[in-house]
């Protein structure tokens, strides 16, 4: 039974998992959507939601917290500029997971993680 089991390990040690999360979150913010496995998408979805919420506030402390997850300064500015303006009316539920099917090599469930109100252009 899975009582009180929380979090995702994804078969990696903590340092590799943190690096994976940073890369996936940065790519998601940079491109607006990513294609990945279902487990990875479910693992980073709450992180992305928190980052977008912090981006909407836009205080100095929020920028410091976001910089822990997103290393690229241009992508950080996209969080506080484009994305926060585009999603200002929404309080939560900024992302959506769309199932794409199974990957041919290992039959892993592939999904597309995207913004609900996708950016135009």
pLDDT means over runs of 10, the chain (121 residues):
86 94 96 95 96 93 94 93 90 94 96 81 42
pTM of the model: 0.89
Give residue 121's pLDDT: 42
Q: Are 21 and 47 in contact (CB under 8 A)?
A: yes
CATH no., domain 14-115: 3.90.1030.10
* Domain ranges (residues) in the chain: 14-115
> How confident is the model at residue 14, as a pLDDT?
93
Q: For residue 61, what pLDDT is reported? A: 96
Q: Which residues of 41-59 are buried (b: 16+ CB within 10 A; e: fewer)?
A: bebbbeebeebbbbbbeee
Q: Are 49 and 92 in contact (CB under 8 A)?
A: yes
Which pLDDT score, from 0 to 100, does residue 119 have?
A: 52
């Amino acid at each position: 039974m899975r009582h009180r089991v929380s979090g995702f390990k994804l078969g990696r040690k903590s340092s590799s998992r943190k690096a994976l999360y940073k890369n996936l979150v940065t790519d998601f913010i940079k491109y607006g959507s990513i294609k990945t496995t279902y487990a990875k998408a479910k693992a980073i979805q709450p992180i992305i939601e928190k980052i977008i919420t912090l981006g909407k506030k836009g205080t100095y402390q929020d920028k410091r917290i976001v910089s822990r997850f997103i290393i690229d300064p241009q992508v950080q500015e996209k969080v506080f500029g484009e994305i926060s303006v585009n999603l200002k009316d929404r309080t939560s539920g900024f992302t959506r997971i769309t199932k794409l099917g199974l990957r041919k090599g290992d039959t892993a469930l592939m999904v597309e993680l995207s913004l609900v109100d996708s950016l135009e252009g």
